[in-house]
Amino acid sequence: MTTAATLAKLGRRVLVLEQHVIPGGFTQTFKRPGHHWDVGVHIVGEMTERSFAGRLLADLTDGRLAWESVGPVYDEFNFPDGFTIQFPDSPEAFRETLIEFFPHQRQGIDEYLSLVRRASRASGQNFQMRALPRYLASGRRQRAADAAHPHVSATTQSVLESLVDDPQLRSVLAAQWGYYGVPPSRSSFAMHALMVRHFLHGAYYPVGSAASMAPALLQTVADASGWTAVRRTVERIDVKRRRVAGVTLDDGTTIESRQVFSAAGAIPTASMLGDDAPDAWSDAYREPGPAHLSLYLGFSGVDVASNGAKRYCQWYYESWDTETIGWDIAPDRELGSAPVLFCSFPSIKDPQHDPGPDQRHTGEAITFVPWEPFSAWKDSRWQRRGPEYDEFKARLTDALLGQYRDSYPGLAPHVQHAELSTPVSTHHFTYAPHGSIYGLSTEPERFGDDTLLPATSISGLYLSGADVSTPGIAGALMGGLVAAVAASPFAGGRYVRAVMAR
Ligand SMILES: Cc1cc2nc3c(=O)[nH]c(=O)nc-3n(C[C@H](O)[C@H](O)[C@H](O)COP(=O)(O)OP(=O)(O)OC[C@H]3O[C@@H](n4cnc5c(N)ncnc54)[C@H](O)[C@@H]3O)c2cc1C
C-alpha cells in the first residue's frame, strides 16, 4: 500500500491486487458481535512529525491518519519473582530506568546505548542505499554496507555478552525480541538496534484502530485514478525475456504491466515466479520467521483499566530465559505453559472506541509457536478444519486462558468472547509462508543478502514491504518507499527530499 501511495504521489496510476476480501494485510481488523480486534498492530514507534517515518505516512495519507500516544510508558516486562520493569518514552528516561534497576552496570548500559545509536544509524543508511540503482549509488552503497557490516553480522547475544555482565540485564535488554521474532543468539544486532531506536521516543496507536490505515493509504491511490481490487489472487508473475510482463490471476485473467511491485514477501514472490525466479534466489538464505498464536478476548461488564489493562504492552516471561522463543507444543502431547505471553488492550488505546453501557473492551494475548504442529491442516478449509484441529485449538485456548487468568485475575471472569488464531489462520488471511508473523527471519544472513534488494534482476519487478526492510509497520512503510524509489529514482528522490525537508 505504501508503494502504491508513493507511486500515486509521483503521478502514477496503480492497480493494487489483494487476495483477501479486505485490503491491508496485517493492518486488517475483524469483528464479532460487539467487539473488533486488530491482528497485526499493537504499537508503532516514530509516528510523529519529528521522525521521517511519521512525516512520510502523514504525507502518503494526506493527513487522513491520526496517531495517539500510548503514554509515557510503552512496554512493561514481567519476569519471575515479581520483577517488573517499564520502558519509558525518552532516551534519557530509558537510560535512567536501566541504571536505577542495574546501578552496577552503568558503564555497560552506556556502551550499549551508544552502540545502539551507531548501529541503527549505519543500518538505516545501508537500507537507504540499497534502494538506489547501482549506477546511482556508485561507491556509496558499498561504503554503507561496509559501515553496517559489523552490526549486521553480529548476533544480539554476542553484543550483549560483550557489554553486559549481569545476565538479568541481558534478559531485560533482549526481552523485546518479540518485535522482530528471532531470539538473541540468532538475531542480527542491526535488527535489534533498529527496533530499540524505533521505540526510543515512545509508541503510538492509530486512531480508529488499524482499520483506518488501509483506507487512508488507498484513498491516495484512488485520488491519482488508481484502483484497489480485492479477492484477486496473483498466481503468477509473468516474465518475458527477463522482463516483467504482468501478472496472471488464479481465475486465469492476465493483466499486462511493465512494472510489478510484489509486497507479498520474498518467498511467495519466488513461488509466483516459478522457473523465472532469478537463480541467485535459490542460494540465498530465505527462511520464514516464527509463527504465533493470538487469543482474541472480548470483555463486557468490567472496568478493564481498574483490573490491570494498560494502554502499554505487557509481556509476561515464565523465566529469565529470553532464548526459548517458541512454545513447544504438539496435538498429541500435554501442554505446558507458553514461555512468554504478550498482552495488549486495543480498545483502551483507541480514543474513538465507545465501550457503551456494557463496558465492552478487547484484549489480545500472543505467543510464539513453531509452524510444524499446524502444518497438517494447511490445505484444509477455514472454519472446517476438522475435529482434531478444533480440539487442539480448544486445548491451546484453555491453556492460554489459564495463563491469562494468572496475570489478570480481575478480568478473566468477564471474558465474553475468546477466539484463537493459529499459524494456519495467519496463512489463510495473509498468505504468509508457514504462517510467519513477520515474514523473513531476521538473522544476519538476511541483512547481508544482496539478492534481497527492491530492484530485482528481472527488469520491471520490484520487491516491496517488510521483507526488503525490517518487520513492523514502519519497516513495511520503508520497504514500500524504497521499492517505489528504486523504480523512479529521480522523481522518488525528489519526493523523499521534500518529505525530509518538512
Ligand atoms: C500478531 C502480530 C502483531 C504485530 N504487531 C505489530 C506491532 O505492534 N507493531 C508493528 O509495527 N508491527 C506489528 N506487526 C508486524 C506488521 O503488522 C507487519 O510487519 C507489516 O504489516 C507487514 O506489512 P507488509 O506490507 O510487508 O506485508 P503484509 O501486511 O503481509 O501484506 C502483504 C499482502 O499481500 C497479500 N498477498 C499475498 N500474496 C498474494 C497474492 N498471491 N495475491 C494477492 N495478494 C497477495 C496479502 O493478503 C497481504 O494483504 C505485527 C504482526 C503480527 C502478525
How many whole angstroms separate alpha carbon 398 and alpha carbon 393? 9
Per the CB < 8 A criterion, the answer to whether 108 and 124 are in contact is no
**For each of the chain's 502 residues, which pLDDT tens digit applies?**
999 999 999 999 999 999 999 999 999 999 999 999 999 999 999 999 999 999 999 999 999 999 999 999 999 999 999 999 999 999 999 999 999 999 999 999 999 999 999 999 999 999 888 877 777 777 888 899 999 999 999 999 999 999 999 999 999 999 999 999 999 999 999 999 999 999 999 999 999 999 999 999 999 999 999 999 999 999 999 999 999 999 999 999 999 999 999 999 999 999 999 999 999 998 887 899 999 999 999 999 999 999 999 999 999 999 999 998 789 999 999 999 999 999 999 999 999 999 999 999 999 999 999 999 999 999 999 999 999 999 999 999 999 999 999 999 999 999 999 999 999 999 999 999 999 999 999 999 998 888 899 999 999 999 999 999 999 999 999 999 999 999 999 999 999 999 999 8
How far, in Å, is the centroid of ligand 1 from the Cα of 1? 11
Instruction: Say which residue the cell 520464514 belongs to.
Output: 288
Q: Write phi, then psi, for 361 (nearest 5 degrees).
A: -140, 165
Q: How far is the CA of 371 from the centre of ligand 1 (A)?
A: 17
210, 67 Cβ separation under 8 angstroms: no
Nearest CA to ligand 1 atom 29: 25
Is the Cβ atom of 28 under 6 angstroms away from ligand 1? no
Tell me the one-letter amino acid at 136: L
* Distance separating alpha carbons of residues 22 and 302, to the nearest angstrom: 32
Please tell me the distance between residue 184's alpha carbon and the centre of ligand 1 in angstroms.
23
Q: Is the CB of 472 under 6 A from ligand 1?
A: yes
Q: H or E element: which one contains 247?
A: strand 243-249
Count of H helices and E strands in the chain? 18, 18
**Nearest-angstrom CA–CA distance, 38 and 184:** 27
Q: In whole angstroms, give the CA distance from residue 436 to residue 287.
A: 10
Task: Report the candidate in 462, 38, 418 with the shortest Cα–Cα distance to residue 260.
Answer: 462
- For cell 513477520, the residue is 438
What are the chain's domains? 1-26+51-66+203-287+442-502 (3.50.50.60), 92-202 (no CATH), 291-435 (no CATH)
Q: Whose CA is closest to atom 23 on ligand 1?
A: 476
Q: How much distance in Å is there from the Cα of 66 to the middle of ligand 1?
A: 20
Predicted model pTM: 0.97
Is there an atom of ligand 1 within 6 Å of 47 CB? Answer: no
Atom of ligand 1 at shortest distance to CA of 292? 1
> Taking a C-beta distance cutoff of 8 angstroms, is the pair 364, 294 a contact?
yes
- The span from the CA of 198 to the CA of 187, in Å, is 17
